Amino acid sequence: DAGVIQSPRHEVTEMGQEVTLRCKPISGHDYLFWYRQTMMRGLELLIYFNNNVPIDDSGMPEDRFSAKMPNASFSTLKIQPSEPRDSAVYFCACRSGGQSDTQYFGPGTRLTVL
């Protein structure tokens, strides 16, 4: 298995532009999570899906952020319009069912908004 795949790995954009981050989870893992990591705040959960349905989006910072999961093998996190304070590393993670099952993280997308 290739593990969790994220693209792009690096993104540099200008303030006001739309940014779309992509994630392909491990096959058969029906939970998908989006996290943001910064030096100041550490790793923060933004939103998670179960069987393609958004379950908890309370961590999404504001309306500029949106996430979708149109099928079991693909999810997107979109920021529109982007701002410099959105600069961070965005991780996608997934897990299968069960209470003790760990989350497997993708390599992350390093976003820089100028």
How far, in Å, CA of 72 to CA of 87, rounded? 28
Identify the residue whose tokens are 């961070």. 88
108 binds another protein (CB under 8 A): yes
91 binds another protein (CB under 8 A): yes
2 binds another protein (CB under 8 A): no
Contacts with another protein, 28-57, as mask; x by CB under 8 A: ---x-x-------xxxxx--x-x----xx-
Tell which one of 1, 62, 63, 99 touches another protein (CB under 8 A). 99
Query: In terms of Cα–Cα distance, which of 82, 105, 108, 89 is closest to 33?
Result: 105
Kindly tell me the burial class for residue 54, based on how many C-beta atoms sit within 10 Å of its own C-beta (0-12, 13-18, 19 or more). middle
103 binds another protein (CB under 8 A): yes
